[in-house]
Chain A
Amino acid sequence: MEISPLLEMRNVTKIYSNGVLANSNVNFSLEKGEIHAIVGENGAGKSTLMKMIFGLEEPSEGEIYLNGKKVKFQSPQDAIDHGIGMVHQHFMLVPSFSVVDNIILGMEPIKGFNIDYKDAVRMTVELSAKYNLAIEPLAKIEDLSVGMKQKVEILKVLIRGANILILDEPTAVLTPQETEELFRELLGLKREGHTIVFISHKLKEVKEICDRITIMRAGKTEGVFQVADVTEQEISRLMVGRDVILKYDKTNHQPGSPVLRVEHVSYAESDAKPLLNNISFTIREGEIVGIAGVEGNGQAELIKALTGQISDFTGHVAIGEHRLQGHTMKEIRDLGMSYIPEDRMHQGTAADASISDNLISRFYRFKAWNKGLFLNKKKITEFSEEQIKRYKVRCSGPEQLIGMLSGGNMQKIVVARECDDKPKLLIAEQPTRGVDVGAAQLIHQRLLEMRQEGCAILLLSADLNEILEVSDSLLVMYNGQFAAYFPDAKQVKEEDLGFAMLGLKRHNEDQIRRAIHV
């Protein structure tokens, strides 16, 4: 008889009640004593999968088996009782409590009516010695470094008897030295017989410490491999690559005058290291500037600065002659800026409103869309039907709730709204993430049409294929700075791009300064 895996998920599907399909027919298995990586882009379904293992969400369909026995977790407590622990990306600690307090919270050793602190400290010290996780038991959490807090989190999980540890992007917040230390600790845990699920999108780290890897894309598993058998390139192709390589014929035309001007923009959260470090570039009429980079290198902050979501940065951002800082979103939009946000559920749509309602959010307040006191319903319906037809949105009609649509169709609505009515500047953040090839093609073609019409477009994408094909010129971000500027995106070799993205090669100041036009 074959030995059953430690943990197995069979044909698991998760559909949230707002209609979002997060996992579809996922199979996942975990062998005892391995470090198993789960990689995938944001929104690929990694965290939903882990939430189901940890009892935070229940699968809509499919089963979970632990040691060959079918289990059903109603809550994290159930999962903990079965020896599963999770170290969250954002720590779940009480800052004003000591390390010991946090570790024993909810399972305090009791002596009479009091907590037996002596015993608690003893337990903590023993545990930290056993797993070689050095900590100061009586220090307050708020005084600890991020790496130390993470150790406390791991100890918290271990003391509850976990033998399966789920680590959600554990290295995202760590310095390289702390990361190395964490890896030593994880290997130690593995030697002790623990099984570890390691969620990440840093492929180098996965190669370094993981045994097997499950690759996820768009809510499905793309394959399970022995880490030694796959190269980083193969993993990244499965993670973000496409089966159909998109090719577009672009007409050559000279870009017009600058629309967006970004000068010396720097930004840091409190006194941490700068997330944006002296960023300067321009985008001209009829030009698509792509920004590539590994996630978390400042792209998100740059977009926030450009779209008025953060205003406490230094430097200068202007559309035409108008400085953006200190303006409300309405004023920025009135200057002609459109924005396709990365997260269509959070910002891009109102899920329980109709398709029409979601289509008119840029226009509803203009005179042309109102008739006296009332919104011009006829015009709105006609406009919605026209857009649905133009973008081939699969839906029952303009009155259908947008939350009922699939991700791709939802994204088409966002794109339709942001691209209509000739904006001067379009910021497209991951415009085709989690979208099927057909929809992606449609969206790309629309972006190229806009370019033809003279719109200045900033395209930010993790999809290299997209960014190389659609952009005119390309900037690469690394560590809050531009690491490279390629004036002609078509000529860029993927290899060069990869080196720049991973910070292995840098263009010099003069080369990068070519991204500024006057």
Chain B
Amino acid sequence: MFKAKHFEKIRTLAVILISLLLTFVIIAFVSDNPLYTIAVFLFEPISSVSHIGNVVEMAIPLMFTGLSVVLLFRTNMFNLGAEGIFYFAGIVASTIAIHVTMSAWFHPILAILAGAITGALLSAIPGILKAKWNVNELVTSLMFNSILFGIGLYFLNYKLRDPQAFANSSYKMQPSALLHNLIPGTRIHTGLILVIISIIVVHYFVYRTKWGYELRMTGSNRSFAEYSGINTTKVIIIVHLIAGFLAGMGGSVEVLGMYTRFQWTALPGYGLDGALVALLAKNNPLSVIGAALFLAYIRIGANQMSILSDVPSEMISIIQAVIILLISAEQFLKFWKTRMLLKEAGIRE
């Protein structure tokens, strides 16, 4: 028998299944050869080492931002600032990669640290505003995304831009700063190791340390936390610092791992995707791995679909929209949970 406590997991699975089914239905309408198109969408991402590589490469930044957002959501902070921080940390990291010369060992470490610390400091601003004056963190973080993008673009245009390059991109980063390739035949880089370590550390931090306990209690019921003697103001600021650090690390790693020049002239979208990953992962750090891989998988599938068949990759937005809608719709399948709760209450009496 299903218990009410498994409800969230079952619900997430049901949401994924429904959105995939819906995708198939739409493909069946749009495509001339629906079975082939569905096969491409489902199996092309695992058809070759390089395609599997694509999935993992795309999952790395999603894991970083997903992990960052998980921490914030866990504390009941609806902060979507990972987007701007991810972008801006990329600028900081590439500046160091371009302008500072040092040995191959320390160069990426310095660049990533600089990006991460910048991220932490930037993230602290909405955090402090929220904790001290209860300023809505959603509003401040979204505004910060625009501000950081504007400033970042200014740096790219006026400080980093290589006039010799054909596109609007920076000077070449020094090879000493770039991350090493991990698996030949793919572009999977050492950032993968870094993100897995981060996820494990965050997992232990959240579930096994007293600071993680404070964070979870603050998120679960701030009144209870305060009643218990937890300084929730401090907790909220610290969580913002850590979340910003992770998002900043993600932006730096992405730039150093996947590019030779900084060339984002628009926000890359990984920060907002992080919120989707966090939703799918049910705010559980370890589940971020699976959620990010799933999201990367359907995106690579959609890319391949647009190359090999007659359905465009924008199709993927429909799946994502359905997932977000159903997962955040509290009422979805709630009748079922109520029934289970009633049953359990009946046993109790």
Contact = CB atoms under 8 A, between A and B. Distances in A.
A353 B217 contact: yes
Given A353-B217, A374-B204, A404-B5, A17 B334 contact: yes
A329 B348 contact: no
A365 B217 contact: no
A21 B204 CA distance: 35
Interface residues of B, number: 29
A19 interface: yes
B217 A361 contact: yes
B338 A60 contact: yes
A122 interface: no
Contact of B337 (A17, A334, A348): A17
Contacts of B228: 329, 333, 361-362
A421 to B, nearest CB: 14
A375 B209 contact: yes
Contact of B345 (A21, A334, A346): A21
Contact of B220 (A347, A353, A394): A353
B43 interface: no
A329 B230 CA distance: 8
B235 to A, nearest CB: 12
Nearest to B5: A401
Contact of A17 (B224, B227, B338): B338
B207 to A, nearest CB: 9
A330 B220 contact: no
Contacts of B345: 15, 19, 21, 406
Contacts of A333: 228-229
B209 A374 contact: yes
A469 B341 CA distance: 36
B208 A339 contact: no
Interface in A328-378: 328-330, 332-334, 339, 341, 346-353, 357, 360-362, 364-365, 369-370, 373-375, 377
Contacts of A19: 4, 341, 345
A284 to B, nearest CB: 25
B32 interface: no
B4 A404 contact: yes
A200 interface: no
Interface in B206-225: 208-210, 213, 216-217, 220-221, 223-225
A425 to B, nearest CB: 15
Interface in A137-188: none
Given A353-B220, A375-B208, A375-B209, A15 B227 contact: no
A333 B231 CA distance: 13
Nearest to A332: B229
A61 interface: yes
Given A361-B224, A374-B204, A61 B342 contact: yes
A221 interface: no
A29 interface: no
B231 to A, nearest CB: 7
Among A333, A349, A375, max chain B CB count under 10 A is at A375
Interface string A238-281: 00000000000000000000000000000000000000000000
B217 A373 contact: no
B310 interface: no
B126 to A, nearest CB: 24
| Chain B interface SS verdict (over half) | helix
A15 B338 contact: yes
B314 interface: no
Contacts of A373: 209
B334 A15 contact: no
A13 interface: yes
A4 interface: no
A400 interface: yes
Contacts of A348: 224, 227
A365 B5 CA distance: 28
B229 A328 contact: yes
Contacts of B334: 17
Interface in A364-407: 364-365, 369-370, 373-375, 377, 394, 400-401, 404, 406
B227 to A, nearest CB: 4
Nearest to B330: A17
Contacts of A401: 5
B5 A350 contact: no
B44 to A, nearest CB: 40
A217 B231 CA distance: 37
Given A17-B338, A353-B220, A329 B210 contact: no
Contacts of B224: 346-350, 361
A365 B220 contact: no
A350 B74 CA distance: 13
Nearest to B227: A347
A351 B334 CA distance: 18
Nearest to B335: A60
Given A15-B341, A61-B342, A406-B348, A346 B223 contact: yes
A357 B225 CA distance: 11
Interface string B319-348: 000000000001000100110011011001
B208 A350 contact: no
Contact of A330 (B231, B341, B344): B231
B210 A365 contact: yes
Interface in B1-45: 4-5
A332 B228 CA distance: 10
A124 B220 CA distance: 46
Contact of A364 (B5, B210, B223, B231): B210
Contacts of B5: 400-401, 404
A357 B334 CA distance: 26
B157 to A, nearest CB: 45
A363 B328 CA distance: 35
A299 to B, nearest CB: 18
B70 to A, nearest CB: 15
Nearest to A372: B209
Contacts of B221: 346, 349-351, 353
A172 to B, nearest CB: 23
Interface in B128-178: none
A17 B227 CA distance: 24
B53 to A, nearest CB: 36
Given A346-B223, A406-B348, A364 B338 contact: no
B204 A339 contact: no
Interface in B89-146: none
A60 B208 CA distance: 37
Nearest to B337: A17
B237 to A, nearest CB: 16
Contacts of A375: 208-210, 213
A350 to B, nearest CB: 4
Given A13-B342, A404-B5, A370 B220 contact: no
A326 to B, nearest CB: 15
B343 to A, nearest CB: 10
20 contacts: A15-B345, A19-B341, A329-B228, A330-B231, A332-B229, A348-B224, A348-B227, A349-B221, A350-B224, A353-B216, A357-B213, A361-B225, A365-B210, A373-B209, A374-B204, A375-B213, A377-B208, A404-B4, A404-B344, A406-B345
Closest 4 pairs between A and B when the two form their complex, measured CB to CB = A330-B229, A350-B220, A361-B228, A350-B221
Given A351-B220, A369-B210, 14 more contacts: A15-B338, A17-B334, A19-B4, A60-B338, A60-B342, A329-B227, A330-B231, A353-B217, A360-B213, A361-B230, A362-B229, A365-B210, A400-B5, A401-B5
